């Protein structure tokens, strides 16, 4: 073994380096997905976190060009029980270790990921330090304790785009029909948006403009959006209170969809509170119940924070979905305004496709809202 992972509570795990060499600090979480490690690695929502995969072997399909959710890996470090010695897939362009080394990501195999997962489940997500250079447990534990808390960092500003841009790509060739002509303009506030969210919007017939997280409401409205999407992203929603204030200015002015961090920011803008989960929801097998129909979707999720249901104004907002594992809020909708949000990831990248219909629901909401306005104006 040539590497150590030390948790702030003094627990130490050994491993073998197969990524870049070096030293990193961050917060350890575990992901229960059986596949889709490339999407996990490149999801900007994982900025600041070290991810342990619970599946016993990772890397057997290599790395391809189509499954990137951003330009590069976003995790602080990556831990697996066994890394596949062979990348066998017709789309693969390189193996997992090469990909991680090229991007400077520290990664360990031969980690007892079952013990690590059970420890995090029992004691909660916690700060950690991993190193291929400092193999002193005492030294590494001290570094883990001294690491900044993830809630103290504005991680959104690290992953958001720097300037507005148009996104034009739909699903990859062969994955579906070509996108139809754009019928509406959706502006996406980039808190760390996944590319597959943008692709689903285009695939549904929308023109998509992506703007930085700190774009003022006036500048956003000047783009003349038909609807606004608040994207997923990393960290504590309270660390981007400025964006919650911007969202508050937008309420009622356009239809709004919030996904993951966007859902939490809508909660804050509507006067609710958020709180940190013990070990978060990370994986592609989270059951979510629609309270109106009783239907259960299996969903992909990646978040450490949740909206406090008891802090919502029931006269203004109704909870639409709950997580069947811990009863946390998974969706909400405003009773008067064209606003809906979900805590889970409907774009299925990676994960099940159960919730893909949410994009169509949002587009219908946008179209119906504008049609009502046209009828109202015509009747004056």
Just list the catalytic residues. 260, 345, 347
SS (H, E, C) 161-183: CCCCEEECCCCCCCCCCCCCCCC
Residue whose C-alpha is closest to residue 239's, from 270, 190, 274, 285: 274
Contact status, residue 44 vs residue 155, Cβ threshold 8 Å: no
- Tokens standing for residue 174: 């062969």
* DSSP assignments along 35-79, one per residue: S-HHHHHH-GGGTTEEEEE-SSEE-TT-B-SS--SSSS---SEEE
Contact status, residue 52 vs residue 33, Cβ threshold 8 Å: no
**Alpha-helix runs per DSSP H in the chain:** 37-42, 96-102, 113-123, 137-146, 156-159, 195-203, 217-222, 241-250, 261-269, 357-379
Separation CA 342–CA 332 (nearest Å): 7
Residue 291: half-sphere exposure toward Cβ, Cα within 13 Å: 14
Burial of 228 (C-beta count, 10 Å sphere; 0-12/13-18/19+): buried
The β-bridge relationship of strands 77-79 and 49-53 is parallel
Instruction: Provide the angle, in degrees to the nearest 10, between the axes of the packed helices 261-269 and 241-250.
Output: 70
């Amino acid at each position: 073994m040539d590497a150590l992972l030390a948790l702030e509570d003094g627990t130490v795990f050994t491993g073998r380096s197969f990524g870049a060499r070096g030293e990193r600090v961050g917060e350890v979480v575990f992901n229960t997905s059986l596949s889709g490690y490339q999407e996990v690695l490149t999801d900007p929502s994982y900025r600041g976190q070290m991810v342990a995969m619970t599946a016993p072997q990772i890397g057997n399909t290599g790395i391809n060009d189509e499954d990137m959710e951003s330009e590069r890996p976003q995790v602080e470090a990556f831990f697996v029980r066994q890394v596949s010695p062979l990348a066998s897939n017709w789309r693969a362009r390189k193996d997992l270790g090469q990909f991680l080394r090229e991007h400077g990501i520290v990664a360990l195999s031969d980690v007892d990921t079952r013990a690590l997962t059970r420890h995090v489940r029992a004691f909660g997500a916690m700060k950690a330090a991993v190193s291929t250079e400092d193999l002193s447990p005492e030294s590494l534990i001290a570094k883990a304790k001294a690491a900044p808390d993830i809630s103290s960092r504005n991680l959104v500003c690290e992953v958001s785009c720097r300037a507005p841009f148009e996104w034009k790509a739909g699903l990859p060739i062969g994955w579906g029909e070509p996108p139809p002509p754009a019928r509406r303009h959706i502006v996406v506030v980039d808190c760390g948006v996944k590319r597959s969210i943008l692709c689903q919007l285009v695939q549904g017939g929308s023109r998509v403009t992506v703007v930085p997280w700190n774009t003022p409401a006036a500048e956003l409205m000047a783009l003349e959006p038909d609807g606004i999407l608040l994207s997923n992203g990393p960290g504590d929603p309270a660390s981007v209170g400025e964006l919650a204030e911007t969202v508050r200015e937008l309420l009622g002015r356009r239809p709004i969809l919030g996904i993951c961090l966007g859902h939490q920011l809508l909660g804050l803008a509507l006067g609710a509170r958020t709180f940190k989960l013990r070990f978060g929801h990370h994986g592609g097998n989270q059951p979510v119940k629609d309270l109106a129909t009783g239907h259960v979707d299996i969903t992909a999720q990646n978040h450490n924070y949740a909206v406090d249901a008891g802090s919502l104004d029931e006269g203004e907002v109704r909870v639409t979905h709950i997580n069947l594992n811990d009863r946390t809020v998974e969706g909400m909708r405003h009773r008067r305004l064209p606003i809906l949000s979900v805590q889970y990831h409907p774009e299925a990248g990676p994960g099940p496709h159960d919730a893909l219909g949410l994009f169509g629901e949002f587009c219908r909401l946008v179209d119906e809202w504008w049609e009502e306005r046209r009828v109202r104006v015509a009747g004056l």
